[in-house]
Structure 1
């Protein structure tokens, strides 16, 4: 089912997500609905806050994005990205690696707005997947950026909070 993506101003976007204690039928349905919603909106990531649910849950799929490649490592070995997409991250924890670099980002909760956002180029992730299994990996490229963007949502942080003052003022935020 396609869910409504809430836009800037909705209180859920500023809410820190609650940790997920159990994976049940309702949560699996929410994950399925979030994936369907993300694909319908042509997004590469969607956090539960963006569908009005303040939970530590996001979905990501960067497979097939040729102009913004990603690399993923599991246990120090490079893996085929498509084997891990779409990705479900429950209760994720991040370790940011490297000096922040600017990269273009958009957000489904801010239709039509894109801006350069500084983020570290690489990230280590510890999370739980939809089957309740540990998911530990490193990523760079678009996947690293998407994970950081969605993780911010789970903390109630929006990409406008990471814009330069000049960009934020130009967009009236």
Structure 2
């Protein structure tokens, strides 16, 4: 991990038009001191990977509520390998049937957060598994809405 701030691309792949969750995750990560690039709605896997490579991101977080998670994540993994960017961690969330979680992990998706995952749990996972650079102005995890009182940054 470089001394640069932790950078995460948050994306909505495909025709999925529901972005509230992605925006909430973006805000929670930013409040924790992570530099987040939110790509907006209706992104292609190639566009998501292109942004992540251009922005020198450490990770990509994809929100998928449309049911196209196996296709979208599979294509992102393929493109990351094709571009020699396997060091970019891919994680995601959304409506993913329990039976598809193993298939996504087998593809190379580091983690999938399903409905009910807490903001503090997602932020903690990102900081612990992708990196936790000391960032000026970072908000302690215990102050993030929904974080348990005993959590610490």
TM-score past 0.5 threshold: no
Q: Quick check: which one's strand share is greater? A: 1
Q: TM-score, normalised by structure 2?
A: 0.28
- The structure with the larger Rg is 1
- When the two structures are superposed, what TM-score results if normalisation uses the length of structure 1? 0.26
